[in-house]
Amino acid sequence: MENLILANLNNPQLLERLYREDKPAFRRAFQAAYPAQPDNVLLAYWHARLTYTAPAVAGGGTHLGFVVVASLLAGLIAKLPAIFHLREEFFYLRNIGFVVFPLLSAYFAWRNKLAVGPAAFLVGASLLAVLFINWLPNVPTSDTLLLSCVHLLLFLWSLLGFAYVGGAANNPDKRLGFLKYNGDLVVITTLILIAGAIMTGITIGLFSLIGLQIEEFYVQYVVVFGLAAAPIVGTYLTQTNPQLVGRVSPVIARIFSPLVLVMLVVYLGAMLYSGKDPYNDREFLLIFNALLIGVLAIIFFSVSEGAHATKTRPEIWVLALLSAVTVLVNGVALSAILFRISTWGITPNRAAVLGGNVLILVHLLLVTAQLFGAASRKSSLGGVGRAIAVYLPIYFIWTVIVTFIFPFLFSFK
């Protein structure tokens, strides 16, 4: 093979084919051939390619120090009910988002060297949120309280996105990068939690063998601090070592997109067969909407991954069909909530679900049109990314309305 390589230096396609057919043999032959012509540009390229070593896990210094401090703070915030003898139901319902989101926002604000104005906005919005949510009347049966608490998480997530994009809030690529970060964070945090669960089982088991029952202490301190720190550590790893999940996330997106498409079609058929419908079953409607949001997240994640990697035409067709089926699911959910409003009247929950479904439907229609255009080669996948990114602030406005205005609009009911 050594002679074959030297004889075909001007035939890069053949060299690539030889490499793919037998990589170990090609490497050995190249090592023998390279010293003969070390100044040859093509051989120098292959030398760099074959001897390239991926960088080791990066990070450290101030970044690592920030992560350690933020992780400890997250754990302390999570333990505030135990420290100050607060009612856990009251605290966690309203403040669970403040355990991690403000610290992640602070990390990106510091990392992006955010200007004073945007940084002041982040701090002011976070303070307003924590004061408002804890000021709301403690009425356990209040729908507006629950809606505010749920949408507060989305509000804090939006603030995290603002910190992530830094001074480029109007840059669609930055917004898509934020969606990609979320997908990568889910992947790496899941791996961290799996490793933590294994370590927890081994540690408790080992101590039990010597007669020490440490379950309560371990859960109350190690597990709580570990859960609070997991997304912070995951963020640090995704930002300082993108190669850790850079190859895994696109593969997951490619695998799950067709699987979710098949599942969704089968589920709709099974729903018709079973006789269950979201028109008269409130719990079923809630599950139906949760399914819709989950599928929407998969579409957005897949497209954001596609902005950083090449997608084949079949993959784009899968996303287009998945998006079209999701439009159908959204249409069923929207018709169901309209039916319930016309039959039993408006409530805070129905108003929130109606508004969310309308926003998602409009967004899905825009994305679906762009996906079919990209699949038929009338437009590029970049147009899909722009359709997703430009619409994201609309969701932020809706979270502000539900979190801060709905309690007054419906008299705290």
One DSSP character per residue, 240-259 reads: H-THHHHTHHHHHHHHHHHH
| Distance between CA atoms of residues 394 and 157, nearest Å | 14
Query: In terms of Cα–Cα distance, which of 277, 299, 297 is closest to 288?
Result: 277
Average pLDDT value for residue range 63-76: 92
pLDDT above 90 (res 374): no
Q: Is the dihedral of CA 239, 245, 246, 251 positive or negative?
A: negative
Phi, psi (degrees; rounded to nearest 5) at 211: 85, 15
Query: In terms of Cα–Cα distance, which of 262, 259, 254, 255 is closest to 306?
Result: 254
What does the pLDDT read at residue 145?
94
pLDDT above 80 (res 60): no
For 70, other C-beta atoms within 10 Å of its C-beta total: 23
273 is written with which tokens?
């067969």
Residue partners of 380: CB distance under 8 A and separation at least 6: 374
Does residue 355 sit in helix, strand or coil? helix
Prediction pTM value: 0.84
Q: Check residues 132 and 38 and name the one with the higher pLDDT.
A: 132
| Distance between CA atoms of residues 142 and 296, nearest Å | 28
| Distance between CA atoms of residues 117 and 386, nearest Å | 26
Q: What's the burial of 127, exposed, middle or buried (CB within 10 Å: 0-12/13-18/19+)?
A: exposed
The percentage of residues in the chain with a pLDDT greater than 90, rounded to a whole number, is 51
198 is written with which tokens?
């294994």
Per-residue pLDDT tens over the stretch 278-288: 887 778 888 88
pLDDT above 60 (res 308): no
Contact by Cβ (8 Å): 234, 189: yes
What does the pLDDT read at residue 360?
94
Q: Check residues 189 and 26 and name the one with the higher pLDDT.
A: 189
What does the pLDDT read at residue 309?
52
Identify residue 256 by its one-letter amino acid code: F
Residue spans of beta strands (DSSP E) within 23-123: none
What are the domain boundaries of the chain? Answer: 2-51, 61-243, 253-409
What does the pLDDT read at residue 412?
85
Q: Check residues 7 and 327 and name the one with the higher pLDDT.
A: 327
Residue spans of beta strands (DSSP E) within 84-169: none
Per-residue pLDDT tens over the stretch 150-164: 999 999 999 999 999
- Range from 85-99, 245-259, 265-279, 318-332 carrying the lowest mean pLDDT: 245-259
What does the pLDDT read at residue 188?
92
pLDDT above 80 (res 290): yes
HSE of 371, CA atoms in CB hemisphere, 13 A: 28
399 is written with which tokens?
């979270």
Average pLDDT value for residue range 54-77: 78
What does the pLDDT read at residue 306?
60
Residue with tokens 């945007």: 118
The percentage of residues in the chain with a pLDDT greater than 70, rounded to a whole number, is 95
139 is written with which tokens?
């009425």
What does the pLDDT read at residue 246?
67
Residue with tokens 């079973």: 274
What does the pLDDT read at residue 131?
97
What does the pLDDT read at residue 408?
93
- Range from 20-34, 51-65, 362-376 carrying the lowest mean pLDDT: 51-65
For 234, other C-beta atoms within 10 Å of its C-beta total: 23
Contact by Cβ (8 Å): 302, 257: yes
Q: Check residues 315 and 359 and name the one with the higher pLDDT.
A: 359
pLDDT above 80 (res 72): yes
- Range from 59-63, 118-122, 183-187, 214-218 carrying the lowest mean pLDDT: 59-63
Contact by Cβ (8 Å): 110, 162: no
pLDDT above 80 (res 53): no
Mean pLDDT computed over every residue of the chain:
87
| Distance between CA atoms of residues 170 and 142, nearest Å | 37
Q: Check residues 242 and 192 and name the one with the higher pLDDT.
A: 192
Q: What DSSP designation does 55 have?
A: P
What does the pLDDT read at residue 248?
74
Report long-range pairs for 6-15 (Cβ below 8 Å, ≥24 apart): 6/33, 6/36, 6/37, 9/37, 9/40, 9/42, 9/43, 10/42, 12/42, 15/42, 15/46
Per-residue pLDDT tens over the stretch 199-257: 999 999 999 999 889 999 999 999 999 999 999 999 999 888 877 776 677 777 788 88
Contact by Cβ (8 Å): 338, 351: no
pLDDT above 80 (res 59): no
What does the pLDDT read at residue 61?
64
Q: Check residues 113 and 39 and name the one with the higher pLDDT.
A: 113
Per-residue pLDDT tens over the stretch 324-343: 999 998 998 999 999 999 99
pLDDT above 90 (res 297): no
Does residue 167 sit in helix, strand or coil? coil
